[in-house]
Amino acid sequence: MSEDVLVVHGGTPLRGEIQVRGAKNLVSKAMVAAVLGETASTLYDVPAIRDVEIVTGLLEAHGVKVSTGPEGELVMDPANVTRAAVDEINVHAGSSRIPILFCGPLLHRLGHAFIPDLGGCKIGDRPIDFHIQALREFGAVVDKRPDGLHLSAPNGLRGIKYELEYPSVGSTEQVLLTAVLADGVTELRNAAVEPEIVDLICVLQKMGAIIKVHTDRVIEIQGVAKLSGYSHRPIPDRIEAASWGAAALATHGEIFVRGAKQADMMTFLNVYRSVGGAFSVDDSPIGGGIRFWHPGGELQPVALETDVHPGLMTDWQQPLVVALTQARGLSIVHETVYERRFGYTTELRQMGANIQLYSECLGGTPCRWGRRNFLHSAVIAGPSKLHAADLQIPDLRAGFSHLIAALAAEGTSRVYGVDRYISRGYEDFDGKLAALGARTERP
């Protein structure tokens, strides 16, 4: 097997067109939702990424028949859902965070669930306390054992009133996927309302669920007795779209991201424009997208704060920081969602970027990490001439940022861990880089 490394000859502006498909962070959840249906579900425009393979493996381990069709069609038939062997599930231990979302659907279908150790990016502690608390309130018995979580629901699951301490995406999805078939009404307060969650609600509504999204982050779910399969075209991947937008800016290029949708990216687009990037929106129903480019001249520094939706997504932070190393002056980035999401800046510094990390909240809103001594604010002084380096990717989004930095830098970089991390969430990035004129090689 070849080494997991991409050799990048930097300094060439990326120019051309690429396509983004269904959002990773919706597709994987919609695949879990298919377990709740009594008939088969179909998802379209599913990207060929490793997270989809992992969830496919978990579905198949539970007897769901999964088949693929042209152009990213994925059919999931849960007619014969069965209990899976622990060993079969444990093959996926440490690979992703999606397995935790199987709790509710498996409890409803089988009365029992086994959840392996979770994986996902090392960007903070990422506890699952909200998930467990909510499941226990629904009536689940949760037994934490060395091999993973064993759950049962001896008396079924009943609707709950639950307030999240923080509007967590995964916990909101956990409550949605459990409440739809629970007995009675569930009221979730302080829920996350990311576009991917709204799209998951659309999926569940197609299946027969009754879900009301009220103002002020309140979601009310009226449990129903049964759900059927769905047919759904997911929202496009706004994280991937923004990553390519940032790559266009950092490399002085121009990229048309076919499939990107303005409405889901408004906060990003505002920042992009403030920094001095240019974009235009083509909203044709077929073939539309967003064109991103560097219009020439100097980029401007900005002060940013990541936040839950409708704030600036934490997953947009890393690609933006690479572009900010090219802005003239001091930019400030306050990361409020994860406590350790600046680890990747060590490599950027090695490439010549001037980035200092602080444990204080350098933003308008004091956040949870301020008093706990986490280096969660960054000051970026630019512009810096980036030079090539050997880079070890630490996680998915940071990995793509390293790739952007290597593409923007003068000289030849070696980026290690691309298959392990980037292919979890970016479909055919080798092919897309080639289409954009990047000079890369697989040794």
Q: Which residues bind ligand EPU (CB under 6 A)?
A: 25, 97, 121, 124-131, 166, 168-171, 192, 239, 313-315, 337-338, 396-397, 425
| CA-closest candidate to residue 429, choices 319, 291, 314 | 319
Q: Which two tokens stand for residue 178?
A: 């459990």
- C-beta of 237: minimal distance to ligand EPU in Å? 9
Residue closer to ligand EPU, measured from CB, 62 or 397: 397
Q: Which two tokens stand for residue 429?
A: 């990035």
Phi, psi of 370 (to 5 degrees): -60, -45
Residue closer to ligand EPU, measured from CB, 111 or 311: 311
Active site residue 121: yes
- C-beta of 239: minimal distance to ligand EPU in Å? 6
- C-beta of 224: minimal distance to ligand EPU in Å? 25
Amino acid at 49: I
* C-alpha span between 33 and 229 (Å, rounded): 9
Burial class (CB in 10 A: 0-12, 13-18, 19+), 405: buried
Q: Which residue is nearest to ligand EPU (CB)?
A: 170
Residue closer to ligand EPU, measured from CB, 166 or 392: 166
Residue closer to ligand EPU, measured from CB, 3 or 129: 129
- C-beta of 121: minimal distance to ligand EPU in Å? 5
Distances, alpha carbon 386 to alpha carbons 170, 378, 412, 418, in Å: 36, 18, 11, 20
Distances, alpha carbon 354 to alpha carbons 122, 326, 335, 357, in Å: 23, 10, 18, 10
- Annotated catalytic residue, options 121, 202, 361, 367: 121
On whether the CB atoms of residues 312 and 304 are closer than 8 A, the answer is yes
- C-beta of 122: minimal distance to ligand EPU in Å? 10
Q: 25 labelled as ligand-binding?
A: yes
Give the torsion through C-alpha atoms of 73, 78, 79, 83, to 10 deg: 150
Q: Which two tokens stand for residue 435?
A: 């289409």
* C-alpha span between 391 and 393 (Å, rounded): 6
Residue closer to ligand EPU, measured from CB, 40 or 322: 322
Q: Which residues are annotated as a binding site for phosphoenolpyruvate?
A: 24-25
Q: Which residues are annotated as a binding site?
A: 24-25, 97, 315, 337
Q: Which residues are annotated as a binding site for UDP-N-acetyl-alpha-D-glucosamine?
A: 97, 315, 337
Which residues are catalytic, by number? 121
